[in-house]
């Protein structure tokens, strides 16, 4: 599945992460990181993430746009191709995007209670995929319990609220430390990228995100790890950024082959399988299937929204990836097999017609 070569007459879409203009927050050096986006969905090819010298970026004249359609006539000379291929900082494209649900990593009912065995096993399964990946994880009982108690999603400016926000930030970073340690032990060079440092919201929606660290670390074959966190919010002061929101931003930016949601159940059921014996697993779900699903009310401890809201976000994510799945992380090797593209028990989420 090699990406189509850059050819005269063909339109390629480039996406510039760093710019040379002096007013940008991230003032770049001489090397510019450029992502060549995937062609439209029916053309099979992964995203290409590349670094190239500034001179070449100038030549294809995308120094001042975040995203621009570039006609290959401008780019198709041998120098350009050589640099794209030979740059020392070229890494393989990001193929897999995985969200480890907080309910798999922690006991969601008890404050700060990690499920260490599950964390270690899942880390080994991710490493066994042997493909470049981005990892997102939920906060589980390291985040939701205190966040709900102090209503951190509403923001605030009191001393008590600030203290609670700082406490939850420190807690989710502690859980992230466990996940990163397990990934490193499994052989991945995992690098945490906390949303609080690179992202800000505007009334709960993403206002800005700096994707450079994700792109640069993964282009060097590190495995970026990010997670649900308390982040800055332009209107509320601070608010909560869920792992699902990060999945959407990363899917949109990197267009991986496969997005995987690792849950504590087999997939999406027609009703909550924990309380309804007659609940049936949906092997595939598209927006028009939602009316047949009986969603329970939002969990008392989950501050990042209802299951229905999460599924609706998955539909958006499915739009940017080849395949989007929900699988059970409590069943051994199911995540590994799903990452390898094998057929597993789970729910395939598609944007659908």
Residues that bind its own copies (CB under 8 A): 16-19, 21-31, 64-66, 88-89, 157, 159, 162-163, 165-167, 169-170, 173-174, 177, 180-181, 184, 187-194, 196-198, 200, 202, 207-208, 210-213, 216-217, 220-222, 232, 234-235, 237-238
Q: Which of 192, 273 has the CB closer to its own copies?
A: 192
- E strand spans, the chain: 11-16, 31-36, 48-53, 67-71, 96-100, 133-137, 190-192, 199-202, 205-209, 223-227, 229-233, 237-241, 258-263, 284-285, 323-328, 347-349
Per the CB < 8 A criterion, the answer to whether 320 and 255 are in contact is: yes
Question: Which of 43, 160 has the CB closer to its own copies?
Answer: 160
Report the relative pairing of strands 223-227 and 190-192 from DSSP bridges: parallel
Task: Please state the closest distance from residue 283 (CB atom) to its own copies, in A.
Answer: 37
In angstroms, give the least distance from the CB of 182 to its own copies: 10
Please say whether the beta carbons of 4 and 39 come within 8 A.
yes
CA–CA separation, 305 vs 314, rounded Å? 13
Q: What is the dihedral of CA 336, 339, 343, 348, to 10 degrees?
A: 120
Nearest to its own copies of 18, 255 (CB atom): 18
4: helix, coil or strand? coil
CB of 146 to its own copies, least distance (A): 12
Least Å from the CB of residue 266 to its own copies: 32
Q: Per DSSP, what are the bridge partners of residue 106?
A: 114
CB of 307 to its own copies, least distance (A): 29
Return the number of the residue (176 or 302) whose C-beta is nearest its own copies.
Answer: 176
What's the closest the beta carbon of residue 211 comes to its own copies, in angstroms?
8
CB of 184 to its own copies, least distance (A): 5
Pairwise CA distance, residues 118 & 315, whole Å: 27
Residue 18 or 36: which CB sits closer to its own copies?
18
Whose structure tokens read 């309910």? 103
CB 163 within 8 A of CB 169: no
**Residue 199 or 247 having the CB closest to its own copies:** 199
Q: Which is nearer to its own copies, 202 or 289 (CB)?
A: 202
The helix, strand and coil proportions of the chain, stated in percent and rounded to the nearest 5, come to 35, 25, 40
Measured from the CB atom, the residue of 13 and 167 that comes closer to its own copies is 167
Q: How many other CB atoms sit within 10 Å of the CB of residue 213?
A: 19
Q: How far is the CB of 308 from its own copies (least distance, A)?
A: 28
């Amino acid at each position: 599945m090699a990406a189509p070569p850059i050819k005269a007459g063909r339109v390629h879409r480039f996406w510039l992460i760093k710019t040379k203009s002096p007013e940008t927050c991230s003032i770049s050096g001489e090397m510019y990181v450029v992502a060549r986006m995937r062609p439209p969905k029916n053309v099979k090819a992964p995203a290409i993430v590349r670094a190239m010298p500034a001179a070449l970026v100038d030549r294809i004249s995308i120094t001042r746009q975040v995203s621009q359609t570039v006609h290959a006539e401008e780019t198709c000379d041998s120098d350009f191709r050589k640099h794209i291929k030979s740059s020392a900082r070229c890494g393989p494209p990001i193929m897999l995007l995985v969200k480890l649900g907080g309910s798999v990593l922690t006991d969601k009912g008890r404050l700060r209670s990690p499920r260490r065995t599950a964390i270690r096993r899942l880390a080994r399964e991710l490493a066994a995929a042997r493909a470049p990946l981005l990892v997102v994880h939920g906060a589980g009982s390291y985040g939701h319990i205190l966040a709900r108690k102090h209503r951190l999603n509403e923001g605030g400016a009191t001393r008590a609220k600030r203290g609670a926000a700082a406490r939850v930030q420190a807690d989710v970073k502690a859980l992230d430390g466990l996940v990163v340690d397990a990934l490193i032990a499994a052989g991945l060079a995992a690098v945490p990228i906390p949303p609080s440092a690179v992202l800000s919201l505007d009334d709960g929606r993403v206002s800005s995100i700096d994707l450079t660290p994700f792109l640069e670390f993964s282009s060097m074959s590190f495995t970026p790890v990010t997670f649900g966190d308390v982040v800055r919010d332009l209107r509320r002061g601070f608010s909560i950024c869920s792992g699902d929101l990060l999945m959407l931003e990363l899917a949109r930016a990197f267009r991986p082959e496969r997005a995987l949601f690792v849950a504590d159940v087999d997939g999406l059921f027609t009703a909550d399988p924990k309380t309804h014996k007659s609940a049936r697993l949906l092997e595939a779900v598209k927006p028009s299937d939602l009316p047949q699903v009986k969603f329970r009310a939002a969990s008392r401890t989950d501050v990042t929204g209802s299951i229905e809201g999460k599924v609706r976000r998955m539909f958006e994510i499915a739009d940017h990836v080849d395949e989007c799945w929900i699988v059970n992380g409590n069943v051994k090797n199911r995540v590994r097999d799903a990452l390898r593209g094998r057929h597993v028990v789970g729910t395939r989420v598609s944007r659908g017609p």
